[in-house]
């Protein structure tokens, strides 16, 4: 499995990561039980995939935690996300969600903690009120790096991520980039590369 460095995090990750959301949610929506879904993750790990992406909104964090049991924690890079869309996020709710994610994942730290589905109109408040809470969690050793994911269907021009790139405080950005819409190439990806910001493609 080919690996790469995830921007300025210096985390070495497999070029192909394993997502646990989407239409399938690692088989949970197509008839697999939790143990069968966890086994899919174990098989991927055994074949060299070392990057797994989950989120509180996917309800798959416990399955990731099950797959990690008995495995060298430092060998797997975990990315999870705190939901923000149509929610009032405060430092208190962020810390509560983070602690719940840590518990469900069965780990004492998360490699990459993202604000999930951020839209342009919410971004200023999240930077002002929530980014300091993320920094506090970093100081506590609960998270290593911070990132954002966009709400691609609502923000196809990547307005929020362009704001985030101007701020320069995020380690990783999760961007919508596919065969039907490649606008991120010019609006996000090139600038992110010059800033050595890690990119997750969704």
Give dist(CA 123, CA 130) in Å, integer: 10
Give the catalytic positions in this structure: 58
Question: What digits encode the pLDDT tens for the residues 64-80?
Answer: 999 999 999 999 999 99
Give dist(CA 27, CA 5) in Å, integer: 29
pLDDT value for 178: 85
Cα–chain center distance at 6:
12
CB-based contacts of 35, cutoff 8 Å, min separation 6: 66
Question: What digits encode the pLDDT tens for the residues 157-200?
Answer: 999 999 999 998 999 999 988 888 888 888 888 888 899 899 88
Task: Report yes or no on whether pTM surpasses 0.85.
Answer: yes
SS3 59: coil
Give dist(CA 105, CA 122) in Å, integer: 28
pLDDT at 153 over 90: no
């Amino acid at each position: 499995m080919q690996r790469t460095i995830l921007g300025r995090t210096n985390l070495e990750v497999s070029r192909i990561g394993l997502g646990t959301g989407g239409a399938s949610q690692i088989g949970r929506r197509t008839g697999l039980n939790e143990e069968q879904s966890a086994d899919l993750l174990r098989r991927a790990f055994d074949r060299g995939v070392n990057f797994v992406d989950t989120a509180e909104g996917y309800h798959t964090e416990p399955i990731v935690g099950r797959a990690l049991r008995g495995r060298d924690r430092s060998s797997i890079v975990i990315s999870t996300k705190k939901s923000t869309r149509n929610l009032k996020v405060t430092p208190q709710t962020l810390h509560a969600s983070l602690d719940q994610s840590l518990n469900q994942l069965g780990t004492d730290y998360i490699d990459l903690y993202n604000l999930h589905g951020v839209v342009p109109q919410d971004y200023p408040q999240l930077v002002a009120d929530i980014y300091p809470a993320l920094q506090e969690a970093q100081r506590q050793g609960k998270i290593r790096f911070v990132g954002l994911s966009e709400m691609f269907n609502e923000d196809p021009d990547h307005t929020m991520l362009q704001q985030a790139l101007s701020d320069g405080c995020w380690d990783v950005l999760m961007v919508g980039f596919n065969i039907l819409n490649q606008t991120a190439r010019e609006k996000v990806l090139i600038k992110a590369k010059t800033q050595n910001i890690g990119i997750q493609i969704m």
